[in-house]
Chain A
């Protein structure tokens, strides 16, 4: 079994709590899912997760042997990384596997800010989503 890439938290930013939550989520998903580990190791680039109702964002950057979660989000403009934007609750529901990403996009609960390249965004969407088996176990009770 491959070792998961390190998840590095850079909490120097306005969204320190959001970054810590995303880092915890990534760490747990990567520990549990070999497929997510493979995707995280192959992905390159940065993705921004924007909680638009809170005006807060974090940046997830895929490196070869680490995923860095930074507690701030760069502004838009040329060269800015792709962003997944929406209300915090919608983003949380998608990440936790409680709502299908496509459904959230179609219902405009989330939107992809049209920045390219999108490969890192697709990778981030997959790696952040809680594995189905874990989500199923969570549904059946906490203890």
Chain B
């Protein structure tokens, strides 16, 4: 079981996405680059203030690669044009990866901001749903620093203390 946000985990997620895409009757043709921006929120122990950025490239329904960008790495240099961008707080992405949140709900409620050509995205809704489900439940993830749901600061302060 890979630790979250490691190269092994990215590969496992990529494999799960491609397995999911393989079950669909049809997948969109063409090549798409997706950027994911996770903002540090002071709650997730896996994402600092500087956040984390990821890129993935999908061609004819297959995720070719999924990798994390180092601070200062230019996303256009690695993927050319970015077609879609997903952005949200770290806790939300952690809860998605742990299967605690529904990704479609998160997008429709605006918890995660989605930018890009909506006409294309809506056309590929079945495929997007399959990819997101693979992300949320396709990999048995290990959380070495503790997994979500997290006890937030004020919750911890209100929690009863043991004698």
Contacts and interface: CB of A to CB of B under 8 A. Distances in A.
Interface of A: 11, 14-22, 24-25, 28-29, 51, 54, 56, 71, 88-89, 92-93, 95-98, 130, 134-135, 138-143
Majority secondary structure, A binding face: helix
Contacts of A141: 29-31
Contacts, number: 96
Q: Which 7 A-B pairs have the closest CB atoms?
A: A16-B110, A141-B30, A142-B30, A17-B110, A96-B123, A96-B122, A92-B125
Interface stretch (B101-109, B137-145, B146-154, B155-163): B101-109
A142 B109 contact: no
Interface residues of B, number: 28
B110 A11 contact: yes
Interface of B: 28-32, 81, 83, 104-114, 117-123, 125-126, 129
B108 A54 contact: yes
A126 to B, nearest CB: 15
Given A18-B110, A89-B126, 4 more contacts: A21-B108, A29-B119, A93-B122, A140-B30
Contact of B107 (A17, A89, A143): A17
B111 A28 contact: no
Contacts of A95: 122
Contacts of A96: 119-120, 122-123, 125
A136 B117 CA distance: 15
Contact of A28 (B31, B81, B117): B117
6 contacts: A15-B109, A17-B111, A21-B107, A89-B125, A93-B123, A98-B122
Given A17-B107, A143-B81, A97 B30 contact: no
Given A17-B114, A143-B81, A130 B109 contact: no
Contacts of A88: 104, 108, 125
B151 to A, nearest CB: 26
Residue from B28, B109, B113, B129 having most chain A Cβ neighbours under 10 A: B109
